[in-house]
Structure 1
């Protein structure tokens, strides 16, 4: 991994922000990086505060966007998390960075790689999106730019996800550099500032209910049937009403950290365990907690939990990392 020129990172979620820091630490985005976070997102603000209390890699500065999305110069690397973002795709049409580095944005990262390596006419579009013709055209143009960058040796994918072997090979055939990481910077930091939960079972919240993919009553019935006491870490997009019901349930303590669980739960002790519905956090927490002897278990979603909005292909995609596997 060679150091490059300076870099500009645009991040729109706490995980993207954390992974941009890891990219700087790993040297894949140059000796200097300016990380710009999307404005008016409380979770990003809290995560930035948490990160700046730690020993950030040298040459890294984090700021909040004061206006439009920053545009990388010709000699700068461009670090991105959400390749499906309309703002990112629109900017990509005229930006000419020296290199593009894609960092993790949850399981959407895998969908990006699948679309980039599929047939040439595939647009970069989120799952379940009913796209207009103009939006499809923008997604196609963005895909063409990323594929061209890959063929020119100017695209790097920096991920903590265990990319399936066939997909990893396809990404490399495209010309992209695929680098996996294990949160080396975060693991080198002091213990989390947030107190470790006292409860032996930690449950990660989910966005699947609010996104209309699983039935609310099935999920809450499962959660409330678990043997307590439970520590519950909400998903940042959980419905406030659902969260109020969880908070009021006896035996459940809700921890409102606001920052990625990779940061708040990295100090769990042997004897504790993590339960979660399918989530990217399952994979990253396994990386961080396996050496500590803390199991991270994924709950298989029963068929009767899914709503009609969850297609078979979407269910398969969401559960692709449900059970632990070795990274390629």
Structure 2
């Protein structure tokens, strides 16, 4: 097996006639999902993982993933600038089915199989669109697309459904998919495969933070869905009770993080791999607190058996901005439920 540095700009050479699976990932969660799909045997031998260029947390996560190896049959990880097209009998793994770049690739895809890996809340939105009786454009929630973008999204949806009818689409997810939604998607020939991060859970964990109280940073402020002042007041209130180890979300505003760092009771971690990787060493002495987030679901799986308390906090009504509609709030509630601890 040949390994390729995550800093490589070109993929490994293939043996003649080899049809290596390809994975195109644009976020740390997508990368972890692709590795787990490979570990689960969904992809085949010689999987090449291509990281979207210009995403520093993704490179940091890839370096940690390689350090945690080994990965039998994984050819390597490298940085690329375009979605790869596998050979005719190969498999393509994607995470963001709403990307215009990915959708244009789908229109010319001739791969044997398409695997869609987790991309947070967008995965549930994708399943809802694919479950509709008739094709609906694959457009991000709350987006205001042009007519051309609508047309591309509809073409991509039609193509995905056609691949599904041929038994060539798998959605690989650790997220809680409601049974009614799973049934509706399956009726279109799309297979939904659940996982609980078995590869990641099998890897040795690093030391936990000294603070017992761990708060997961949220993208809700950066996305304009929650008022900044309310959020920062909430963090300060938690810190007043007990010191905090704060794990920032990769999209948080640096100015907000700078303000949190001025509070001596809040220890803000430096950017790096996602919490699923960094917090695997938490114990029964630790308590994780978070607003609605897919990280709540994944941490409950990764820390299963550790006894760590994991608490999802409902967003108070007065925190929401006018951009947070009722449908979004209902979606987010999916990621609050779950056992209070991982025992």
The TM-score normalised by the length of structure 1 is: 0.95
The Cα shift of 1:125 comes to 0.7
Give the SS at the match of 1:89: helix
State yes or no: 1:222 paired with 2:222.
Answer: no
Structure 2 distance, partners of 1:106, 1:229, is 29
The match for 1:96 is 110
Structure 2 residue corresponding to 1:53, chosen from 52, 56, 67: 67
Cα pair 2:20 2:86 within 8 Å, conserved: no
The Cα shift of 1:69 comes to 2.3
State yes or no: 1:121 paired with 2:135.
Answer: yes
The match for 1:197 is 209
Structure 1 distance, partners of 2:133, 2:313, is 33
State yes or no: 1:132 paired with 2:174.
Answer: no
Aligned residue runs from structure 1 range 79-90, under 5 A = 79-90=93-104
Structure 2 residue corresponding to 1:210, chosen from 222, 230, 242: 222
The Cα shift of 1:54 comes to 1.3
Structure 2 residue corresponding to 1:238, chosen from 252, 262, 274: 252
The Cα shift of 1:320 comes to 1.9
Structure 1 distance, partners of 2:27, 2:87, is 23
Aligned residue runs from structure 1 range 108-187, under 5 A = 108-187=122-201
The TM-score normalised by the length of structure 2 is: 0.91
The Cα shift of 1:257 comes to 4.4
- CA deviations 1:246-301 (Å, max 9, x no partner) are 11112110112411100000110111110001111000001112311112111100
Give the SS at the match of 1:198: coil
State yes or no: 1:247 paired with 2:261.
Answer: yes
Structure 1 residue corresponding to 2:27, chosen from 1, 13, 29: 13
Structure 2 distance, partners of 1:66, 1:180, is 28
Structure 1 distance, partners of 2:52, 2:219, is 21
State yes or no: 1:300 paired with 2:323.
Answer: no
Unaligned runs of 5+ in 2: 1-18
Cα pair 1:12 1:38 within 8 Å, conserved: yes
Cα pair 1:286 1:295 within 8 Å, conserved: no
Cα pair 1:37 1:62 within 8 Å, conserved: no
The match for 1:22 is 36
The match for 2:7 is none
